[in-house]
């Protein structure tokens, strides 16, 4: 009878997620826009990150611009875009801010990652799960850092504009784009560019101010729950790596190593 040799454990996976989070954080810091309103064009996205990801063989790496449309931020003197959805500043009516914590309960990043146009290669699924968990870990850590200092970090999360029929519409960032605009330099670039275009910045309508102490307690409780959820997710994926009978997607990501008995 054959026996599967475990390829990883929960501790190894956590180390992978931590290392990937460090790479993402350093990459964003290394590509911050200069202070003040944008001059020309600035952008950063999934494709830029994956272009330097050593887990992906060069032969199957997609063009950065293709992936940036699935997750990223672009700011120019005349336009702004989240995840490939762009609008001219001339059509923007307002920029609305929201608490970063509001984005942390979404499964938008998982949906984005599940549909990446990257061909199969050994370790593809694991790489995607590690990257997804690393982005979520950074978002949670950023939110906790600010909330525990009594500051609910707010990001310019909704770009409001009027559509062709006059209806009020908006574009909003997915999870990776939210992480990018949570960077102080990127946030400042977007806001100062909006102000330079005479666009008002204000809190979202349904994001009414509440008692500050109660709000901090609420946010910390939500972050605690999200951290627990993230830990469960990591453990489930680690178990899936060891599960040889029924892989999550029905197909083994990698050929398991076997010891013949």
Pair of tokens at residue 160: 């409001």
CA–CA distance, 225 with 204 (Å, rounded to integer):
24
The pTM (predicted TM-score) of the whole model is 0.76
pLDDT the model gives residue 5: 34
What's the pLDDT tens digit per position in 166-203?
Answer: 788 999 998 889 999 999 999 999 999 999 999 999 99
User: Which residues are CB-contacts of 122 (< 8 A; sequence separation ≥ 6)?
Assistant: 253, 254, 255
Angstrom CA distances, 239 to 130, 150, 206, 261, stand at 14, 37, 40, 23
Low-confidence ranges of the chain (pLDDT < 70): 1-10, 103-115, 206-220, 222-223, 226-261
Task: Give the number of other CB atoms < 10 A from CB of residue 113.
Answer: 21
**End-to-end Cα separation, the chain, in angstroms:** 6
pLDDT the model gives residue 106: 55
The single residue listed with the structure tokens 């003197």 is: 77
CA–CA distance, 166 with 144 (Å, rounded to integer):
39
Boundaries of every domain in the chain: 2-249
DSSP-assigned beta bridge partners for residue 161: 92, 169
pLDDT the model gives residue 248: 41
What's the pLDDT tens digit per position in 94-112?
Answer: 999 988 877 665 555 556 6
């Amino acid at each position: 009878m054959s026996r599967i040799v475990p390829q990883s454990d929960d501790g190894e996976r956590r180390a992978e997620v931590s290392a990937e989070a460090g790479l993402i954080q350093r990459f964003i810091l290394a590509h911050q826009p200069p202070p003040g309103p944008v001059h020309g064009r600035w952008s950063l996205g999934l494709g830029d990150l994956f272009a330097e990801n050593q887990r992906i063989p060069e032969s199957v790496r997609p063009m950065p611009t293709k992936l940036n449309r699935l997750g990223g931020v672009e700011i120019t003197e005349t336009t702004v875009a989240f995840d490939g959805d762009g609008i001219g500043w001339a059509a923007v009516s307002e920029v609305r801010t929201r608490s970063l914590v509001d984005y942390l309960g979404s499964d938008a990043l998982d949906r984005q990652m599940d549909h990446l146009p990257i061909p199969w290669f050994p370790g593809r699924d694991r790489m995607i799960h590690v990257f997804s968990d690393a982005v979520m870990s950074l978002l949670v850590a950023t939110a906790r850092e600010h909330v525990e200092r009594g500051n609910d970090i707010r990001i310019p999360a909704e770009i409001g504009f009027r559509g062709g029929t006059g209806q009020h519409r908006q574009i909003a960032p997915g999870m990776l784009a939210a992480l990018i605009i949570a960077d102080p330099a990127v946030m400042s670039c977007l806001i100062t560019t909006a102000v330079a275009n005479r666009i008002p910045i204000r809190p979202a309508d349904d994001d009414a101010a509440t008692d500050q102490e109660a709000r901090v307690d609420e946010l910390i409780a939500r972050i605690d729950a999200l951290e627990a959820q993230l830990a469960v997710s990591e453990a489930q994926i680690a178990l899936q790596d060891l599960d040889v009978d029924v892989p999550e997607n029905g197909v083994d990501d990698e050929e398991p190593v076997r010891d013949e008995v």
